[in-house]
Structure 1
Amino acid sequence: MIQLALSGAAQPGSSHSDNPQRGAKTYLRTASSDLDTDAEGDDFELLDQSELNQLDPAGSRGESWKEEALHTYLDCLPQRGAGVPPTPPPHPPPVLLSLCPRYRYYQNVCTQSYSYVWWDWERWEREIDWMALSGINLALAFLGQELVWQRVYLSLGLNQSEIDAYFTGPAFLAWNRLGNLHGWAGPLPRSWHLKQLYLQYRVVERMRSLGMLTVLPAFAGHVPPGVLRVFPRVNATRLGGWSHFDCTYSCSYLLDPEDPMFQVIGTLFLKELIKEFGTDHIYSADTFNEMSPLSSDPAYLSRVSNAVFRSMTGADPEALWLMQGWLFQHQPDFWQPAQVRALLHGVPLGRMIVLDLFAESKPVYPWTESFYGQPFIWCMLHNFGGNHGLFGTVESLNRGPFEARRFPNSTMVGTGLAPEGIEQNDVVYELMNELGWRHEPLDLPAWVSRYAQRRYGAANAAASSAWLLLLRSPYNCTGVCVNHNRSPLVRRPSLHMDTQLWYNASDVYEAWRLLLSAGAALGSSLTYRYDLVDVTRQAVQQLVADYYLSIRGAFQSRALPELLTAGGVLVYDLLPELDSLLSSHRLFLLGRWLESARAAATSDREAELYEMNARNQLTLWGPSGNILDYANKQLGGLVLDYYGVRWSLFVSLLVESLNSGSPFHQEHFNQAVFQVERGFIYNKKRYPTAPVGDTLEISRKLFLKYYPGAMKRSRAGPA
């Protein structure tokens, strides 16, 4: 049981993500955090301040009390997006609220690189406090592991140069840990290892002090090439390349599960890790993340998972394996029922928890008979690469966890948030968090109206109406929804880009109008200003698609004046205006991302390496655009100097093609634009770290200029 006591109003400016002050004055005390995979739930007790030190159970007081107590608690939570939580009403008598069921998981192995990579302790502390206040009780603690791995490799006989050549740069460590990459954007400086180690001490201590179970990394079977030099008889095989990378930076070595070195390395690493950080007995390992196994033989797959698990129990007999289930839905042709069952049954039932990572769109539990008896956590993945873009699957979220609990012989033991990147689309994370407290689905329209009031600190009819529109449109993707934000705005231009939306574009334009109309009443709310930027940004993203269609149509019909008009508006007005809008809010600044990378360095040379990592991840994602624009962001500075320059070159070459009568060659454009993209990564331009301009004024200017035409074009339905 974790007890929480609320003491009056939250402090002004206490946003979780935007203000260094701590959030709501909320006190937490852990009464029990026993690891019990059979438990159906976890209890949180809300206590009045005068009863803070009482540990006796409050008892049941009826559902109406619980409902009001829950709303009181939620109203006090700090809002992501730089908001001011409202003053809560008087507290009801103490009540007992239960999580449904046992675990509330948070994080994705990729979040470590897309969002957390440059964080200092102050930012980590705010995140952990938000996690505790949101009821999170199970989370990854992955920092500092490279220093432990370095010790292990040195003890085995590898030299420092072999180790340095293996680790990637900081922004790509998530995929080094998964066995997907090695070497790219490295090496890791010694100072990085030490700083991450000390951060891990504090992160683990803070999480545990607030009743959370920490998940430490374990050995998945991948080894550096240096292991083969030291142990030439070791049985290791190279896997294939990953995601458009060749073997220069990919094709990792995987130990045979029956080779003795598998247990030697795995157990040695985990013993060192436990010695350093202690343990809550839960460990994460993913052997085949987006990589095909060497054999589809069920016996082989079972041996692999058994070897991973035995390397854990060799260091900790109580070990529980937490594994991402992404591989099963990512490569369904390989992972047929026999292969899935074999991998899962290589571990004793109940000693593994599978994260059904993308359950809101592609749940795995229904076609694997609830993971063939292994416990699983129903997760919302939602975000890929930390992309910006309004998106959600609210109907699926509101239905999915409850269906999973009712599934025949369900082994579901929790719900989870597993985004690749955070600091976007707060509403879906608030919804998913609240569903963890619920025994049945919510009335979504009523919920989002209350959300708007809670988020802005006051009821406002226009804001509530705006959120109802957003809830039914961009936040209500149905069916199989995989949103990587493939808007033409953030993609390398071509004549064959898809502009289809899953929602009616006019709903976003109307929500924009409604939010703007609430400016006089809500303009002092930091979360309102964040949301106004985000909704305006989405409207402009839609406008970019409209102008792209005009550009393409004009080129294909050889209408040069129309091409010049549409291209000129896009390149010289719309994109610069969007850049100005984004530059008016600190959470949409490229400079903030780049300076946080440089701030992690201890020398100019390190700062240059880290900045290169930060720029490359947002853009080329690899040396040659291997995963081009996967981690795209809409940030002030990036829109103008990266996306804008690409679009300018594209329009110029189309105009040149019409003028000369020669065909447009996409390959020639790709070669030319690659130089632009690569040049952005290595230029030295510094970007503002503080906002410039007034969000309301800039949004209003854009609205007056573009709204009438946008609504006219969108009345026919989805773009």
Structure 2
Amino acid sequence: MGAAAAAAVLGLLLLGAAGGAAADEAREAAAVRALLVRLLGPGPAAAFSVSVKRALAAESGLDTYRLSGGGAGTRVLVLGSTGVAAAAGLHRYLRDFCGCHVAWSGSQLRLPEPLPAVPQVLTEATPNRYRYYQNVCTHSYSFVWWDWARWERELDWMALNGINLALAWSGQEAIWQRVYLALGLTQSEIDEYFTGPAFLAWGRMGNLHTWGGPLPHSWHLKQLYLQHRILDRMRSFGMIPVLPAFSGHVPKALTRVFPQINITQLGSWGHFNCSYSCSFLLAPEDPLFPIIGSLFLRELIQEFGTNHIYGADTFNEMQPPSSEPSYLASATASVYQAMITVDSDAVWLLQGWLFQHQPQFWGPAQVKAVLEAVPRGRLLVLDLFAESQPVYIQTASFQGQPFIWCMLHNFGGNHGLFGALEAVNRGPAAARLFPNSTMLGTGMAPEGIGQNEVVYALMAELGWRKDPVADLEAWVSSFAARRYGVAHRDTEAAWRLLLRSVYNCSGEACSGHNRSPLVRRPSLQMVTTVWYNRSDVFEAWRLLLTAAPTLASSPTFRYDLLDVTRQAAQELVSLYYVEARSAYLRKELVPLLRAAGVLVYELLPALDKVLASDSRFLLGRWLEQARAAAVSEAEAHLYEQNSRYQLTLWGPEGNILDYANKQLAGLVADYYTPRWRLFMEMLVESLVQGIPFQQHQFDKNAFQLEQTFIFGTQRYPSQPDGDTVDLAKKLFIKYYPRLVAGSLWAD
């Protein structure tokens, strides 16, 4: 079977999965009308007519929308081939005809009166069969504490951005619990196996067990409830939910029930020891493999139904026990066989991260063994980090298996302005034109959301474009005008500066991690170089503040002003750190004290105050969400500790230290600042006593501070305090003249 035929097989399978009856069309149209009411309110929503007709996509077989009508006394007509297509068409109208904007941080929905007419019927078909969303890790870094109200907003955002394929992984531990009990495990053995809520992503991929657990009974009940509502809403839009499947990882306790079971203990992961890592992998030839796989999938489908696409990752960031192609093919085939035993239409969605993450192991023979172990068209690969390190090029379009070009962008849910917009803009079209390309779609696969919204706005738009945006400067200027509801010379200039600096990453710097010294445990070896000119960030900061008198009433503007102020403060931390380190190395005490004093006692407290002025940058809000998911004080304590650990040490010994760093009010004050104060004090002590700086001793002392924060019980405000514009202006007035003067000490 050739590459084009493989893609056709998958397309036919999944078109069938999406359904096509008149009842489905009516349900999807009703779902989009309800979205309209939630988004605009019942009055404005009445000015739109929404309908769904599968026949609209008859020619191409690809999602299509049609816009017409509008103008005085005339309703805007939105027709889609699916609910998702209709929602995407609605979003197109709001964005391009009304100048509106919908984003995580808030929306700008000032509608013109009357609604603008569509000059001539506009019909748009996407070039991508699938527009995928999520990363397995997103469920832990961003979704973990969500209630239905927050999920509903996200599902609306997904529909408006044309997402039609997404993970739906909530509640799976409840299903696994039923399976493990049926296999003879005790409840205590199951409790010992599951991770805590904030670390479930890595339990699901086999990287971790036990850490942060156990999962309370109430957790399972709530997640089952959420999963049913999530799936119902996804399907009502015509989205295809991806359910989990068995990947081969099992609890060690299974060896008590089945002493002859053939399992292999893999190596540790993420600097954890085997108390929490070292997964037990069931041998592909073991008779229990298909039994467990089919038991789980049957129970899952009975509970949730299915759309026939399943996700499983056997070797995510873990080296297989053998590099022999025969073993890798067998392990892969066993996972797939367990799927089709229960669902003959099953398609496996595989994160291609393993090939990118361990290229020294995954040579051509190993990659080929995995990709050819599943019939072509039945494996759909996510080229997860394609904007930076695409795998399809090295694997001849994944050996003919269909794939989705994904933008990963963010690791750990870090704050920090970052993006590779040029690479994102060009990437999907280049992949589509690759020789014998089997690309079937585009995807957004961030580990954490709620940051750098311009990057996701572009990527979502590219899901409906055949060609790249011709002029990114013009595009980003329009983005700013829609975001704030008005075109403004200074904001557009600010965004062009951000485009050419923080959003113009290329090469090895484009990791997606925020490596600012601000959010790292200090040392004398910290990297402070960046791929852009910091002066562009500071000038963008100035321009936004210049626009503040006009735009201060815009919530999205205030969010961006805070975010750029936060970034400017992050840059200043780097500069003062360099001053302090240089003074220390020169053995000059007074300059060291001066730099340390500004950094610890002025800059970081000022940053914490700015962050405290916006609810979206509050540690208290983050922790309150965790506690709100609990039904008892004991559970609330467990969930809060999960949350504090994830933000900081990640594991009990700082195993993945500061990976999921955030810049939140309260976290800056009570976690980052004490660590920086200790570092500066020990540098001064080292200089005064004439002894070398003891990094090892500092790390031990810092670890005590970090644990103090994690085990702390202090409650933090969940409501903002102070005015963002005033606080940003005070920070600017104090530090910007120093930057212009070229001296951090100028008045």
Which category of TM-score, normalised to the shorter sequence, fits these structures? over 0.9
Alignment of 1:709 with 2:730, yes or no, is no
Instruction: Determine the structure 2 residue equivalent to 1:98.
Output: 125
Distance in 2 separating the partners of 1:207 and 1:180: 29
Deviation at 1:72, TM superposition (A): 2.9
Asked whether 1:319 is paired with 2:340, we answer no
C-alpha distance in 2 between matches for 1:68 and 1:626 = 45
**Residues 1:560 and 2:584 are matched in the alignment:** no
Aligned to 2:554: 525
Q: CA distance change for structure 1 residues 635 and 33 in 2, over 3 Å: closer, same or farther?
A: farther
What's the CA shift for 1:366?
0.4
The CA deviation at 1:54 is 8.7
Post-superposition Cα deviations, 1:29-59, rounded to whole Å, max 9, x if no partner, equal: 55449999x977321333558678996989x
* 1:46 matches 2:67: yes
Whole-angstrom CA distance in 2 between matches of 1:583 and 1:650 = 25
Aligned with 1:460 (options 468, 472, 488): 488
Contact 1:28 1:210 in 2 (8 A): no
- What SS does the aligned partner of 2:231 have? helix
> Hey, what's the Cα distance between the residues in 2 that align with 1:107 and 1:399?
21
Contact 1:23–1:78 (CA under 8 A) maintained in structure 2: no
Give the TM-score normalised by structure 2: 0.90
1:486 aligns with 515
Q: Which residue of 2 aligns with 1:264?
A: 291
Does residue 1:78 correspond to 2:102, yes or no?
A: yes
In the alignment, which residue of structure 1 is the partner of 2:12? none
CA contact (8 A) 1:176 1:182 kept: yes
Tell me if structure 1 keeps the 8 A contact 2:98–2:111: no
Q: Do the aligned partners of 1:162 and 1:226 also contact (CA within 8 Å) in 2?
A: yes
Task: Kindly provide the amino acid, as one letter, of the partner of residue 478 in structure 1.
Answer: S
Partner SS for 2:656: coil
**How big is the alpha-carbon RMSD for the aligned residues of Structure 1 and Structure 2?**
2.8
**CA offsets 1:226-263 (integer angstroms, 9 cap, x no match):** 11111111111000000101101000100111111110
Label 1:203 to 1:10 Cα distance change in 2 as closer, same or farther (>3 A). Answer: closer
Give 1:311 deviation, angstroms. Answer: 0.7
* Aligned equivalent of 1:625: 654
Residue number in structure 2 paired with 1:61: none
Match of 1:675 in 2: 704
**2:264 matched residue in structure 1:** 237
2: CA distance, partners of 1:486 / 1:698:
25
Work out the CA distance in 1 between the residues paired with 2:518 and 2:80. 57
Query: Does structure 2 conserve the Cα–Cα contact (< 8 Å) formed by 1:148 and 1:269?
Result: yes
Q: Aligned partners of 2:69 and 2:739: how far apart in 1?
A: 51
> Secondary structure of 2:660's partner?
coil
What is residue 339 of structure 1 aligned with on the other side?
366
Q: Does 1:534 align with 2:567?
A: no
Matched residue, 2:531: 502
Bigger mean CA deviation after superposition, 75-84 or 135-144:
75-84
Looking at structure 1, the residues matched to 697 and 45 of structure 2 have their Cα atoms a distance apart, in angstroms, of 52
**Is the CA contact (8 Å cut-off) linking 2:421 and 2:455 kept in structure 1?**
yes
Aligned equivalent of 1:444, options 472, 495, 498: 472
| Residues 529, 335 of structure 1: alpha-carbon distance in 2 compared, 3 angstrom cutoff | same
In 2, the alpha carbon distance for the partners of 1:541 and 1:30 equals 48
* Aligned residue number for residue 690 of structure 1: 719
1: CA distance between counterparts of 2:385 and 2:453?
Answer: 18
Give me the whole-angstrom Cα distance separating, in 1, the residues matched to 2:258 and 2:569. 58
Native 8 Å contact 1:23 1:77 kept in 2? no
TM-score for the superposition, normalised by structure 1: 0.93
The match for 1:643 is 672
Amino acid at match of 1:470: L
- 2:205·2:313 contact (CA, 8 Å) conserved in 1? yes
Aligned residue runs from structure 1 range 281-680, under 5 A? 281-442=308-469, 443-480=471-508, 481-680=510-709
Alpha-carbon spacing, 1:325–1:29, altered in 2? closer, same or farther (3 Å): farther
- The CA deviation at 1:26 is 7.4
In 1, the alpha carbon distance for the partners of 2:650 and 2:613 equals 27
Counterparts of 1:696 and 1:704, CA distance in 2: 12
The question of whether the paired residues in 2 share the 8 Å contact of 1:14 and 1:84 is answered with no
CA contact (8 A) 1:285 1:323 kept: yes
Gaps of 5+ in 1: 59-64
Paired letter, 2:495: W
For residue 616 of structure 2, give the secondary structure of its aligned residue in structure 1. Answer: helix
1:86–1:457 CA contact under 8 A, matched in 2: yes
Question: Alpha-carbon deviation of 1:211?
Answer: 1.0
**Percent of matched pairs sharing the same residue:** 60
User: Residue 78 of structure 1 aligns to which amino acid in structure 2?
Assistant: V
- Shift, 1:101, TM fit: 1.2
Instruction: Give the corresponding residue for 2:15.
Output: none
Is 2:172 the counterpart of 1:151? no
* CA apart distance, 1:529: 0.3
Partner amino acid, structure 2, of 1:341:
K
Question: 5+ unaligned residues in a row in structure 2: which ranges?
Answer: 1-19, 83-88
Compared CA separation, residues 296 and 113, structure 1 to 2 (3 A): same
Who is 1:171 aligned against?
198
Distance in 2 between residues matched to 1:539 and 1:57, nearest whole Å: 45
CA distance in 2, matches of 1:611, 1:39: 50
Aligned residues of 1:109 and 1:174 also touching (Cα < 8 A):
yes
Report if aligned partners of 1:359, 1:380 keep a CA contact under 8 Å in 2: yes
One-letter amino acid matched to 2:679: F
Distance in 2 of aligned mates of 1:205 and 1:621: 34
Note closer, same or farther for the CA distance 1:143–1:644 as it changes in structure 2 (3 Å cut): same
Separation in 2, partners of 1:66, 1:661: 68
* SS of residue matched to 1:314: helix
Name the CA distance, whole Å, in 2 between partners of 1:311 and 1:22. Answer: 50
